[in-house]
Structure 1
Amino acid sequence: MKVLSALAMVVLGSGLFFACSKNDEQPDTTPAVIVKLTKSNWKINSITRPKLGSPAGDSVISKACTSDDLIQVSIQGTYVFSDSTSKCDSTVFPYSKGSWKYDLTKDSLQLTTATTPAKNYKWKVLTLNDSVMKVQYIDSTVLTDKFTKTISFKH
């Protein structure tokens, strides 16, 4: 009888232990696109714009100094653009850090600079997978010469 009572106490005690244990883990509801975007740094692979006289073609306009530039997009909502060891003219990317948000309905990454005054940039995301990100935006740094740029990044 003592063995049966001891066994009942063990079963009852372990049932109470598991019933009272806390399950702090919440399911991760972060959209897959955000996980891919923030997973690691993105290195510039190329920058292009439509070829003059042949808009269906692209002209590569990346400079050698951009080949080691990185953008790090953090899950906390900030980004840092690093002009790595090969320094470029700051007009290539007139922003280096700030905040971001992702518009899931329009597949666009919206960057807001930490400069004063803050500037907003909207990148249309054409491709985003585990190894490649390709974005397109209208460059309007020279108001009389607005054109579309495409930036390809890789891990």
Structure 2
Amino acid sequence: MKKQNLLALAIISLSSILLLLACNTPDPAPLPEKIQKLIQTNWKINEITVPKKTGSGDSSILLSCMNDDLTLFGSNGVFELQDGTLKCDSTNFYYSKGYWGYDLNNDSVQLAVITPASKYISWKVLTLNDSVLKVTYIDSLVPANKITKTISFKK
């Protein structure tokens, strides 16, 4: 009788172990395509424009020292604007790092700036594909002088 109980217990234990080994944890859901495109690229600033005060069209405010700057969106939710070899003191980007998220409902990149000061910025995405990221946002560094800026990045 004891041998039968031990054999039954061994079979149950072995079956349980095999059953647990057969169960795999499900793969995490894949990231939405837009987020994948955003984090797979080191985005280089191609152009920054503001509306002209007179006439139609936009005026470029891209400084030559920004031509080699990169914007990185990490898969860990951290973003960083990195100066290239040419450094400039610019008010075009008065922030350099923080946390980011993608609002799929509003098609916008949400930035929570931590350096140099805490601030929230929302970039409305106009274009996002394998080689181009184009966003627009309201720059309110000086609340009385809000400016709509458009930034184009390339791969």
- TM-score, normalised to structure 2, is 0.81
Q: CA RMSD for the aligned pairs?
A: 2.0
Counterpart in 2 of 1:38?
39
Q: How does 1:1-155 map to 2 (within 5 A)?
A: 21=22, 23-24=24-25, 26=27, 28-54=29-55, 56-115=56-115, 117-155=117-155
Identity of aligned residues (%): 52
Contact 2:95 2:117 in 1 (8 A): no
Aligned residues: 138
User: Aligned equivalents of 1:59 and 1:106: distance in 2?
Assistant: 27
Deviation by residue 1:80-121 (Cα, 9 ceiling, x = unmatched): 100111101142211111101111110111111123641111
What's the CA shift for 1:128? Answer: 0.3
User: Aligned equivalents of 1:139 and 1:101: distance in 2?
Assistant: 19
Contact 2:68 2:83 in 1 (8 A): yes
User: Aligned equivalents of 1:115 and 1:83: distance in 2?
Assistant: 14
- TM-score, normalised to structure 1, is 0.81
Counterpart of 2:118, as a letter, is A
What's the CA shift for 1:22? Answer: 5.0
User: Aligned equivalents of 1:53 and 1:136: distance in 2?
Assistant: 20
